Structure 1
Amino acid sequence: MNKMWWKEAVVYQIYWRSFYDTNGDGYGDLQGVIEKLDYIKELGIDVIWLNPFYESPDRDNGYDISNYYEMMEKAGDMETFETLVKEIHARGLKVIMDLVVNHTSDQHPWFLESKSSKDNPKRDWYIWEDSKEGGAPSNWRSYFTPSTWKYDEGTSQYYFHSFAVEQPDLNWKNADLREEIYSMMRFWLDKGIDGFRMDVINLLAKQEGFPDAKNPTNIDYLANNPGIHEYLQEMNREVLQHYDAMTVGEIPFVTPEDGLLYVGEDRNELNTLFHFQVADEMPTWDMLRYKEIQRLWYEGLKNKGWNSQFLNNHDHTRQVTRYGNDGEYRVESAKLLATMIHTLPGTAYIFQGEEIGMTGVRLPSIEDYDDIAMKNKYKEEIAKGRDPQEVFESLLLLSRDNSRTPMQWNSQEQGGFTKGSPWIKVNPNYKEINVEQALSDKDSVFYYYKKLISLRRTHEVMVYGDYQDLSEKDENLYIYKRSYNGVKWLVLLNHSDIEQVASLPDDFQSDRKQLIIGNYSNKRSISSEVSITLQPYEARIYEVKESS
């Protein structure tokens, strides 16, 4: 296993529109990121990941791009971006940005040309098909709508969209299109960015002929199709191998066996990936399933490829609400989840606000939400005759807006995020949960994260250590060992709201073990030679070094 900077890094995701607004328009901006860089540096972050800021009609919060070379007015201008990159690098940090090349906006000049006529030179830069039996070419469902197909009256054909109708998919079979994408990637890399987070990158290749699916609601037919690895190897050959760039692919519907094809060190494709077995298969916490997923991915990638560790991002509900306890044990469970993410094999990711224990939100009505996926699903279900309130309640937990509410900087109006009217409501708990409060409390979630990140920088066992689960069948305790070059760490996690007794393995039943970090400031845990009684949501890490 090769040692690489991106394996050792901790990545901080900035959803800039909800980070910090400097001009009072209600949207965060890149100048706001610049002004908060010292805060990020203080936390100890290595890499910043920026969500899309390209020119866009903004139907899907920037993931519908109308110009890959221009900036969204809400975000700022190119000069601000260049200053941001300079300031990030001046602090010894790196920056990666979203690469969105499965689809564009329907307002992109490429698509406007493509739909203008069947014989336009850019017609097959997108995917067009004739109707089938008087209807759509197939029964496929998109992420956001009941069909992947939208009829265009101007040319009497359907175009393909994996997401919203305003997001037509690009046709990666077209070599000219691919070269245009590679040129765009070089443009941004030459501006000094340090890599890409690649949006739904395993959707680029489509099934030949678009055959009807037996179960169209299971949309895994959108991903991992023949040709995808050839595209990514070409991308690597033409662009990525010429830069010291970090690449992380967003890769849904993938198993460890398939994942290795994307990130195997002998494959010349991507460095690492986000898989979604946790997010997609665990709407709420399921300890046994989580352990199984971790074991399978560790075994599948060991010494061959690299994983990522995360529990929330801009698409998934904040982790302390979804997988922790955001009530009585918010602080303890936030620290426990952090301990887990930062000590499991793979690169650790932090989503803005996670480091202060920000929670999910419940806004009063569907009108208060912005998430296009949630709103489209709401309309679809209401059209079936379902009770509106019932539908609303069913969509709340997994709404993407749970994680998109503005960053809570202080207890002032709008949480210090903006002096204007925010594009989406601030979580009402901002007066109790905010950065200013966290920085004033030495036992806050922030300082716990800071210590974890510092430990990662100084203890290679945290990054490169072998992993062994010692608690496979326990539904409350997660106990595992990391071992590297004679150093052994034992991670003890009580993921429950009652005390639990954790048995210690033989090599930690001695006075040689040293407590590295724990999430309770008081030391009430009862310890014997063979066990430790852990308090609700308590996390502890012990170290033992082999005697010389």
Structure 2
Amino acid sequence: MEWWKDAVVYQVYPKSFKDSSGDGIGDINGITEKLPYIRELGADVVWLSPIYDSPQDDNGYDIRDYYKLLKEAGTMEDFDRMLSRAHGLGLRIIMDLVVNHTSDEHVWFQESKKSKDNPYRDYYIWKEGKRQNTREGLDTSKEQAWGDEPNNWGSCYSGSAWEWDSTTKEYYLHLFSRKQPDLNWENVLVREEIYKMMRWWLDKGIDGFRMDVISLISKLPGYPDGEAGESGYTSFEVTANGPCVHEYLKEMNRKVLSLYDVMTVGECSGVTLEEAWKYAGAEEGELNMIFQFELMELDCENGIKWDLKPLDFIRMKKIFEKWQTGMYGKAWNSLFWNNHDQPRVVSRWGNDSGEYRELSAKMLASILYGMQGTPFIYQGEELGMTNPGLSIEECRDIETLRMYQERLEAGCSRAEIMRSVHAKCRDNARTPMQWDDSPNAGFSTGDPWMPVNPDYKTINAGAQLQDEDSVFHYYKKLIRLRKTYDVFRDGRFTMEYKEDPDIIWYTRTGEKESLRVICNFHELTRAIKLPDNEEWGELLICNYPEIRKETELRPYEARMYLV
């Protein structure tokens, strides 16, 4: 049964969701407390970002022990109680599966770096430097200069993807932080360890996995140089969709996933439509769906996250059309605006001013929730939470802090760098969840690990639950509509107004009914016209109290009609 096609997923970032102990860090018991809230919204699945034992170099995506929980998160008994409570409410739980890399404090890596003949040496990717034979005269206690690394691959978090180890006189690969060494998936023992761990969690009763950077697990044979960028290092995208990635995922499915009734979604950076058919094709035997990030590059100059440019709205519509039509009947889409790595969408592509914040948040939701795929809500998105405008001293994100230092040293002005931080920093999404207007937004009775967004007095769950016209209740209505009409799941997609600079208009055509979704993406009032001999149909939802004119869209107005 493909239950995940009708599901709505709510992503919880545990560290920032709800603190029950008063230490300022969100925990499992806090999640348990708020499960009824998630169910009230209408979600069916809760995706938990990592809660495993971790040194927290990358906020939990550096795992020290896959079988233990972070001490601050709680105990395994707390987890079992949370899982039981979720299932009792009709909620499923999926966990983050982080298996491209581990923490450098994982016992496998601690053993791996002891010697070249250690049994765990081949659990990770070790290579000699380009000038290995001339190393005797070099000071190997210091970080090596660029140019000696095995190749020019770059870390996602700035600099080289290779780290020199003075004990064994070789480099290890880390596509992310140097404290996140990449696992060697070519080693069958590594794969079997991972499958064993997955079965352990599934036997515990969880309902699936979101797979972190899963498209990166297979590396190019020979580890060739890529095309170098301005920094001298190639983007980590050169490692995406390697030659054995589908072989590995088919094996994972055969040995683990197919034995359970689960939901799987893979984070697949750099994926093409054709690759997506392989990852998530109904007959491929790999994953149920993937996250692709083509939309997330629309406000990046030359694909560089921190180099800002205005949103290309026409291009956005083309990307929607490409994935909605290209995946139809072949594979299943995921739908998302936000996650723990992206800024708040109402600040990014909506309008977070007081006048238009709620309207634009509802409009953005309408665009996505009329499409085919499984929607993912990131905590606080259903409230229209905004970017907080953090100072660099308040930022905790390793990627942001490294970029800031690197660009400062390169001569960029602090003001220019901070514009990028305020627009794109991952910490935009990681400030504490805004539960009510009490101190610390009801997140914690202690000092939160990150500052609370100052707007929590007006933007919080407590107030919105009481307001039938709130962003929360709008999301709730959209979710209810998706569960009522088959056309949301099965209808064929057609984009209208393709070159219009302000309007997204598309139809979904099913066997019994059609859906018409019309949204004004900007604050200009726009005239619209229905094609001849057609009727508007039954209005299902609108983000204004009433329609003033059928042939006119007010700022950020959104409508859905059933035809």
- TM-score band by shorter chain is over 0.9
State the match for 2:270 in structure 1: 253
Match of 1:94 among 92, 113, 123: 92
Instruction: Compute the displacement of 1:214 (Å).
Output: 1.9
Counterparts of 1:385 and 1:522 in 2: how far apart (Å)?
Answer: 53
Query: Pick from 236, 246, 259: which aligns with 1:219?
Result: 236
The answer to whether structure 1 residue 514 and structure 2 residue 548 are counterparts is no
Q: Deviations over 1:167-213 (max 9, x none)?
A: 00000000011000000000000111110000000100001121111
- Is residue 366 from structure 1 mapped to residue 392 from structure 2 by the alignment? yes
Partner of 1:197: 210
Partner residue of 1:83 out of 77, 81, 84:
81
Q: Secondary structure in 2 aligned to 1:12? A: strand
Q: Kindly indicate whether residue 56 of structure 2 is the aligned counterpart of residue 58 of structure 1.
A: yes
The 5-angstrom pairing of residues 135-534 of structure 1 reads 135-215=148-228, 216-283=233-300, 285-327=311-353, 328-363=355-390, 365-506=391-532, 508-509=534-535, 513-524=537-548, 526-527=549-550, 532-534=551-553
Corresponding pairs, count: 534
CA–CA distance in structure 1, aligned partners of residues 287 and 524 of structure 2: 42
TM-aligned CA deviation for residue 522 of structure 1: 3.1
In structure 2, how many angstroms separate the alpha carbons of the residues matched to 1:460 and 1:507? 25
Secondary structure of 1:479's counterpart equals strand
Query: Could you report, residue by residue, the CA deviation over 1:246-285 in whole angstroms, capped at 9, with x for unpaired residues?
Result: 0000000111111111111111000000000011233453
- Corresponding residue SS for 1:70: strand
Aligned counterparts of 1:340 and 1:245: Cα–Cα separation in 2: 28
2:407 is paired with a residue of what secondary structure?
Answer: helix
Structure 1 unaligned residues grouped into runs of 5+: none
Confirm or deny: 8 A CA contact 2:325 2:493 kept in the other structure: no
The SS at the match of 2:250 is: helix
RMSD of aligned C-alpha atoms?
1.2
Q: Deviations over 1:78-117 (max 9, x none)?
A: 0111111111100111111100000000000000000011
Alpha-carbon offset, residue 521 of structure 1:
1.0
Report the CA distance between 1:507 and its aligned residue. 5.7
In structure 2, what is the Cα distance between the partners aligned to 1:507 and 1:423? 59
Deviates more, 1:377-386 or 1:223-232: 377-386
Match of 2:556 among 518, 537, 542: 537
Give the deviation of 1:219 after TM superposition: 2.9
Supply the distance in 2 between the matched residues of 1:357 and 1:72 (Cα, whole angstroms): 30
Q: CA deviation at 1:427?
A: 0.4
CA distance in 2, matches of 1:406, 1:55: 21
Q: Which moved more, 1:439-448 or 1:106-115?
A: 439-448
The CA deviation at 1:394 is 2.6
Give the whole-Å Cα distance in 1 for the aligned partners of 2:510 and 2:72: 47
Distance 1:39 1:346 in 2: 23
Task: Indicate conservation of the 8 Å contact 2:325/2:492, yes or no.
Answer: no
- CA distance in 1 between partners of 2:201 and 2:441 (Å): 33
> Residue 397 of structure 1: SS of its match in structure 2?
helix
Question: What amino acid is the match of 2:201?
Answer: W
Give the CA deviation at 1:9: 0.6
The secondary structure found in structure 2 opposite 1:456 is: helix
> 1:324–1:337: 8 Å Cα contact kept in structure 2?
yes
After TM superposition, give the deviation of residue 304 of structure 1 in Å: 1.1
CA contact (8 A) 1:126 1:170 kept: yes
Does the aligned pair in 1 maintain the 2:155–2:235 contact within 8 Å?
Answer: no
Q: Is 1:106 paired with 2:104?
A: yes
Q: Are 2:153 and 2:235, in contact at CA under 8 Å, matched by a contact in 1?
A: no
Instruction: Give the TM-score taking structure 1 as reference length.
Output: 0.96
Letter in 2 for 1:250: E
Shift of 1:386: 2.9
Secondary structure of 1:486's aligned partner: coil
Sequence identity, in percent? 49
Structure 2 residues not aligned, in runs of 5+: 133-147, 301-309
AA partner of residue 439 (structure 2): E
Q: CA deviation at 1:509?
A: 2.7
Aligned 8 A contact 1:495 1:537 in 2: yes
Q: Residues of 1 paired with 2:23 and 2:534: CA distance?
A: 56
What SS does the corresponding residue of 1:80 show, helix, strand or coil?
Answer: helix
One-letter code aligned to 1:240: L
Q: Is the 8 A contact 1:285 1:322 kept in 2?
A: no
Instruction: Report the alpha carbon displacement of residue 72 of structure 1 after superposing the two structures with TM.
Output: 0.3
TM-score between both structures, scaled by the size of structure 2 = 0.93
Report the more deviating stretch, 77-86 or 386-395: 386-395
Q: Distance in 1 between matches of 2:532 and 2:62?
A: 55
Q: Which runs of 4+ in 1 moved over 4 A?
A: none
8 Å CA contact 1:160–1:168 kept in 2: the answer is yes
Cα distance in 1, alignment partners of residues 347 and 422 from structure 2: 12
Whether the aligned pair in 2 keeps the contact of 1:492 and 1:502 (CA below 8 Å) is no
Query: What is the alpha-carbon distance in structure 1 between the residues aligned to residue 509 and residue 419 of structure 2?
Result: 45
Q: For residues 466 and 327 of structure 2, what CA distance do their matches in structure 1 show? A: 41
Quote how far apart the aligned CAs of 1:382 are. 1.9
Contact 2:464–2:472 (CA under 8 A) maintained in structure 1: yes
* Offset of residue 36 of structure 1: 0.6
- The answer (yes or no) to whether the contact 1:343–1:463 under 8 Å persists in 2 is no
1:342-368: per-residue Cα shift (whole Å, max 9, x none)? 1112111100001111011101x2111
Give the direction of change, closer, same or farther, for the CA distance of 1:483–1:353 in structure 2 (3 Å limit): same
- Return the alpha-carbon distance in structure 2 between the equivalents of residues 507 and 445 of structure 1: 35
State the Cα distance separating 1:470 from its structure 2 match: 1.1
